[in-house]
Structure 1
Amino acid sequence: MKRIGFYSQYLATLATISLAWGTSSVADETNPITTTDYFQGQQSIEIHVPQPEPRTSWTCATLIEPAITSIMGSYQANWGILVEKLEEGTTLYSHNADKFFIPASNIKLFTTAAALQKLNPQSKIQSKSLQDWIKVTNVRSNNYYADTLLSHIGGAAAAKSALAQMGVNPNSFRQADGSGLSRRNVATPRSLIMTLRAMYYTPDKDVFYSSLPIAGISGTLKNRMKGTPAQGKVYAKTGTLRGVRALSGYMNHPDFGKVVFSILVNNPQVSGYSLVHAIDRIVLQLSITQPCE
């Protein structure tokens, strides 16, 4: 099989990336009070791609595995990835899906999902509605809001119980805080997929879904994947600690419908910039993949 047309041209252009560093070298998610994206101000990643050719030249689904393997490179053991069709549950790609990783701020997905199961979105916390707290927690990755939310609903045990009632395997993650700052948090890609899937079918789906950053548009994804096929189609939660990067959420795919994905990588031997670049390349690879005839 040949990788032709837009796909080959697209991969070539991924090598052209502009990066301007600000004063901080670590994501804001390592600061318990910080509320903004770690690509704030002068920090940004721009991935330029050409205008797409007709969809007949896009990547066939059978090329997903070798393409992602190539992106992961020689550190494949440090990656955990699971990609599924939301409605059918069909697996599009899986790699270390049941291995534990430090999820960084992806732990906020557990926190906010559990809060929505235990409380009404309009219930008040310090004069603001839970809905507002959920949005600030996820879109801005506010660690103070996340830890306060977890405490408000009764702590990690209460959160695990609420998620278990939704069908999330309680043995697939361990939660030490609400924000993801603790390195004692661990989760499998499958645990995040189960949470995302379960939340999509709850009465408060819209509150949860709309709280996620949008690629190239809002929150901690505002400066990522701009001008690519993924812009405006990926709603996902970022995660950042030293040696840790994560991205889990939903993708509106033109052929596969709603796709749910989780990408976790723990690798202190590679720069955070390189890990973010690799994650975005994987997401973009998925966005240009179509079924094989």
Structure 2
Amino acid sequence: MNLAIAHLGPPGTYAEQAAFFYLNWLKNQGIEANLSPYPTIAQSLQAVATQQADLAVVPVENSIEGSVTMTMDTLWQLENLRIQLALVLPISHTLISYAPNLDNIQTVYSHPQALAQCQGWLGEFLPNVNLIPSNSTTEALQRLNLEITTAAIASNRAAQLYNLPVLATGINDYPENCTRFWVISQVDHNYQISLTNPTYTSLAFSVPANVPGALVKPLQIFAQQSINLSRIESRPTKRSLGEYLFFMDLEAELNSFIMKSALEELQNHTEILKIFGSYNVLSITL
């Protein structure tokens, strides 16, 4: 078996770095795999949903900028996807450019998350440049040879892969910068092996109506079962202004008695409930 792992590409993105770690982890379990880059996070997940890929490694949350909304929205829209594992990757941003110094830079390209994670540094050292978002940190690198006044924010690994000059390293605003990725498969496929006793469960739901107490009741269910919420996030339903979906990460296993009891009661207070799965977390050491 040779599994295809979808990720945001081209090679050199942080998603590819996390996917490469997972690929090697699989190989240590005796499972062969290869990486398949896609232009967007949504396309990476759609590749799994349509069986073009077996797995996807997608970012879900950054410690500085919070949730990656494209991942959350796409996961809600697609059916039959499950979280197999979470990976935590340390992030250190690098300014890459052919410009001889910072004074020559007029435009900086990068993924919106990377630009946001470096906004303090950019405001201090490049306050007058144009900031232009791209689909990925690596895609931004393709523009550098077109104009010497351009720069891109990406990883130092990407600079090495493409043999590009580095102007500044560690430019993210906070040194403790990390991104959590989810490894996603279809529901009926289980490629996560030798990891037992999952510690987290992720789910999302909509409420029947926007009325007082609509969210309190679901939250009380978990409080009464002594289940800790490690994350809660709202996203618009895209049906009507003021209607929201609620994404939650819970510190309990899906098949535990308290979780089964909580989910049974939760269905009485939700319109649509989607369980994305139970999983463990692996930290990536660079």
Q: TM-score, normalised by structure 2?
A: 0.22
Based on CA coordinates, which of the two structures has the bigger radius of gyration? 2
Hey, which of these two has a bigger chunk of strand by percent?
Answer: 2
Structure (1/2) with the larger helix percentage: 1
